[in-house]
Amino acid sequence: MLSYFRRLEKNVLSWCAYDVGNSAFATTIMAAVYPVYYREVASSGLASNISTAYWAYSASASLFLSAFFSPFLGALADGQGMKKRLLAVFTAIGVVSTGCMALIGPGDWFPALLLLAGGTIGFTISIVFYDALLPHLAPPDRIDMISSQGYALGYLGGGVLLAVNFLFILALPGTIGARMSFLSAAVWWAVFTIPIMVYVDEPGAGTGGGGADAIRDSIGRLKRTFREIRSYKNLFLFLVAFWFYNDGIGTVIRMAAIYGSQLGISIYHLVGALLLTQFVGIPFSIAFGSMASRIGSKRAILAGLYFYLGLIIAGIFISRPWHFWALAVAVGMVQGGTQAISRSFFASMIPPGRTAEFFGFYDISSKFSGILGPAIFGMVTQVTESSSAAIAILSYTFILGILLLRKVDG
């Protein structure tokens, strides 16, 4: 496996390395350790359903802010040649927020949620500029594979660090292990950002002025993109489909550990199962890239979505730790591949020279969709005091996503 990645060009491998870095936030902070730490330590004085609802609302609010600013920032990056600079700025916001999580103690649920919001904003907006660099790395016939390689290395990197953090939790007393894991995620993310800053070129530097001129130019480009995107029927229809099914995928990622913790599953089972998801995802992300090359991107995505729909239905009936482990393995088989091919499928439809703007719309779709899923999950959990009911409602996101994607040519 490692020899396979060593054969990649330096700029491609450096681009993929950023996925290794930011996956530390996706695994340790968003998916595995921090949600359980928040519920069992930071929000120890809150009722179980209220704690879960507050987490969901914080995720929704931070995604709303990310979604609001992403298109403007994407237009600014294209017009001023600032993709890498803005990538560095929002990575720094995410890294600092993640590192400060180590300071959270019992009852600190409000600052814990503020840091979650800061980390999420840094993570999600930085991906706009990271994704926007993808079409400049290789010809269209290699985009599927490069996108999949990025996800695979991300799974590897996130999985390796999560394994180390799992050992911290097992070996160190009290909350020290969890706090060490938050610090390690911040350092890991920062270190693996260095290659993309050094070895990946800034594409198509803009010629506009700075200051107010940059703002006016960016707003003008953004308005034009809003007008023009409707004329790209296939691209627009895909974005709507993506809005729905990515809502479901994102909610599963953000709420799985909280859901399992509310069912009484211990942190050792939760983190261990989600660690296994990471390593299962490595070969399956690569396999999805190969499958997309043979049967087409659209069919590969649909296969993943049908599988996901079945997993959502199965998730309603979780009651024992081994159920969570089994579902974690199944999610690892489709999660990274479905997202990777969605990214490359969209990239293949973008008009030349408009990558950051259009990826701003791509990412705004994922962010606005992410607002609705966790918010609904939180409201249903708060009102019914049952996360199983909230899981059941998530099935609509995959059903609508499948129906719309089937109408996309490709």
More confident residue, 296 or 139: 296
Residue type present at position 50? I
Reported as a single tens digit per residue, the pLDDT across 311-362 is 888 888 888 899 999 998 998 888 878 888 887 888 888 877 677 667 766 7
What distance in Å separates the CA atoms of residue 362 and residue 358, rounded to the nearest whole number?
6
CA gap 305, 358 in Å, rounded = 23
* pLDDT confidence band for 217 (50 / 70 / 90): low
* pLDDT score at 259: 84
Determine the pLDDT at residue 1.
46
Confidence at residue 206, expressed as pLDDT on a 0 to 100 scale = 52
Q: What pLDDT shows up at residue 364?
A: 65
One CATH from 1.20.1250.20, 2.102.10.10, 3.20.20.210, 3.40.190.10 for 11-405: 1.20.1250.20
pLDDT over 60 at 205, yes or no: no
pLDDT in tens, 85-127: 999 999 999 999 999 999 999 999 999 999 999 999 999 899 8
- Model confidence band, residue 4 (pLDDT cutoffs 50, 70, 90): very low
pLDDT at 80 over 80: no
* % of residues, the chain, pLDDT over 70: 88
pLDDT of 297 > 80? The answer is yes
> What is the reported pLDDT for 161?
94
Dist CA 400 CA 1 (whole Å):
36
Does the pLDDT value for residue 187 go beyond 90? Answer: yes
As a whole number of angstroms, the distance between CA 192 and CA 188 comes to 6
CA–CA gap between residue 110 and residue 199 (Å, rounded): 39
Which range, of 70-84, 206-220, 242-256, 361-375, averages the lowest pLDDT?
A: 206-220
Residue 333 has φ and ψ, to the nearest 5°, of -70, -25
203 or 186: which leads in pLDDT = 186
Q: What are the residue ranges spanned by the domains of the chain?
A: 11-405
Q: By C-alpha distance, which of 341, 342, 344, 330 is closest to 281?
A: 330
pLDDT-based confidence at residue 224 (cuts at 50, 70, 90)? confident
